[in-house]
Amino acid sequence: MRPEIDQVVRLIQRKDSKSLEEALDLLQKTVFSFSMKVCGQRQDAEDTMQEVLLRSVPYLPKFESPKGLIVWLYKVAKTRCLMSRRRSKFAPGRELSLEELMPDRRELERLSVENGINPERFAIRSEQAGMVRAAIQKLPAQYRIVLVLRDMEGLTDEDVAEITGLRAGTVRVRLHRARLFVRKELMKAREPRAGRSIGAVAAPAAIPDQPRPPDVRRCSRNSRTTSTSN
């Protein structure tokens, strides 16, 4: 779990406007990072971040547990991303079937030899990180979300199950299939192309690492309005 969520909980418990602004600043980075991995498009990720923060402000003081807060935030962000209309440039033209997700026997044998290949260890350089992003965006949304939450956000199977509404056993099955697919895609990306060496593969565009800041004044104003109406 992200360490900044502990700090967010401490800040919102102070119940003053300055602490709320600091908490929102931390939350915007967390939600934007998660949304970029799931949505795949910057505009969708920014829209998701804005909507999640605006919706969360009235409820933030009620959270005393970092785990409860992050699970709730990711659940709202996941729903918003799934409703996004834009498609990632890496996304396939059609949804992949389960059979297409799974490597064949020869690929499984190769993966067992190359078992050190995984998104965490492979994403060292920028071009390698781009390969990982491209592979993840090819996954169907229900598999991509599980992989992002479990392997990239560091949540437990139980946390992922709560966010997605799946059973923990289903989470593990989908995670296994998603990992195999990503490893297969990474191995394909490492293979020399016709007339080109691995080192000649063009690097993708840089990752947009900073979201546009949310309108904190609007968030705070909505919070006060909600509190008055209650």
Residue 12's identity, in one-letter code, is: I
Q: Enter the tokens of residue 223.
A: 């919070």
Boundaries of every domain in the chain: 4-86+214-229, 98-191
Q: What is the CATH number of domain 98-191?
A: 1.10.10.10
CATH of 4-86+214-229, one of 1.10.1740, 1.10.599, 1.25.40, 2.20.28: 1.10.1740
For residues 153 and 188, give the distance between their C-alpha atoms in angstroms, rounded to a whole number.
25
What are 48-88's pLDDT values in tens digits? 999 999 988 888 888 989 999 999 999 999 988 877 655 55
- pTM, full prediction: 0.68
Distance CA 218, CA 222 (A): 6
| Beta-carbon contacts of residue 226 (< 8 Å; ≥ 6 apart) | 57, 58
Distances from the Cα of 132 to the Cαs of 81, 85, 120, 146, in angstroms?
19, 23, 9, 15
Q: What is the pLDDT of residue 185?
A: 84
Going residue by residue through the chain, which has 230 residues, state the pLDDT in tens, using 9 for 90 and above: 678 899 999 999 898 889 999 999 999 999 999 998 888 888 889 999 999 999 888 888 889 899 999 999 999 999 888 776 555 554 555 555 555 555 555 655 554 554 444 444 444 445 677 788 888 888 888 899 999 999 889 899 999 999 999 999 999 999 998 988 888 888 887 765 544 443 333 333 333 445 665 555 555 555 555 444 44
For residues 76 and 40, is the Cβ–Cβ distance under 8 A?
Answer: no
